[in-house]
A = this chain, B = another copy of it.
Amino acid sequence: MELLQRFLKGEKPAIARVITKIENGTDPKLLEDIFPHTGNAYYIGITGPPGAGKSSLVNAMVPKLLENNKKVGIIAVDPTSPFSGGALLGDRIRMNDLALNENVFIRSMATRGSLGGLASKTKDVALVLDAAGFDYVLIETVGVGQVELDIAQVCDTTVVTLVPESGDAIQAMKAGILEVADILVVNKGDRTGADRLIMEMKFAFELRVHNSDWHYPILKTTAIENIGIDELVSTIKSHKEYLEKSGKLETERKNKLVIRVNELIEEKIKTHLHEYVIDQKQLKKMIDKAYERKITPHYIIDEIAKKIF
């Protein structure tokens, strides 16, 4: 297959076409053809609330990651990111410089109205970039919701970014996003309150340090001035080394595969259910009865379940 060959050589137009096919689900076999070529990239997640400067961070990190002839693939699942075309002019110009680099590939994922399958699609696109030969796959997401938690779950290293003035630290904690963070970055570190936020976050991280060999570093950066970026990239590399040496990279990647297989089987069953099992006309009749409170939704569910099992 010609497309696959060009794709495996790392040709950008071929990569873009493969991703589009995967996103649209037009070629179900494609992901299967690609899968044997995956497993070599290192997955880095960058997440945090809007305005935390995630894109500036990615912008500053990429040149460091490209050193020693490495290749970096970027997936932007952030509607405010310049990488997905949603930010200010200045940001977009910087991003364009990056996009022209032959060792960089940038792909933005549509977010509007597609929250449901977004995390799943993003995971598939990450596999595509992995197979295409990128050494690092960077996934930038915005927010502290379920999509971010789902995506963090495929990343080897997850970096959570906060800023001093955002009241989102508590939000992030409550939503469980700090629990998936391997590294915490307080960006815009020159602003008032940065050191206080770091203190607060140390407290939040303390419990985890006791249960792990990894020390959960909290770093201060000012991405837009390139301050703290060297340390961030070397900390990510330290985390990678830690995972490799401790054997955790293998066990965690296997766990991630288990979770992914379970997700995919659920998706498959869902589709099968709606296409073959549930008689929509009969369902409509039962819904009318339930609306009148003559039967309960649980009765309907039992009737449908009987047909399946």
Query: Complex: how many Å from CA A257 to CA B173?
Result: 34
Contact B35 A265 (CB under 8 A): no
Most buried by B among A146, A174, A265: A265
9-residue interface stretch from A164-172, A199-207, A235-243: A164-172
Q: CB-CB < 8 A to A145: which residues of B?
A: 115, 143, 145-147
Query: A89 an interface residue at 8 Å Cβ cutoff?
Result: no
Would you call A35 and B80 a contact (CB within 8 A)? no
On whether the beta carbons of B179 and A113 are closer than 8 Å, the reply is yes
Tell me the chain A residues, 140-195 only, with Cβ under 8 Å from chain B: 142-147, 149, 167-168, 170-171, 173-176, 179
Per assembly, the copies of the chain total 2
Which residues on B sit within 8 Å (CB–CB) of A266? 266, 269-270, 273
Q: Which residues of B are found within 8 Å of A144, using beta-carbon distances?
A: 143
Additional 5 contacts, C-beta under 8 A, given A86-B170, A86-B174, A112-B175: A115-B149, A260-B297, A261-B297, A265-B273, A308-B308
Using CB atoms and an 8 Å cutoff, list the residues of chain A in contact with chain B: 31-32, 35-39, 50-51, 79-80, 86, 111-113, 115-116, 142-147, 149, 167-168, 170-171, 173-176, 179, 250, 253-254, 257-258, 260-262, 264-266, 268-270, 272-274, 278, 283-284, 286-288, 290-291, 293, 296-301, 304-305, 308-309
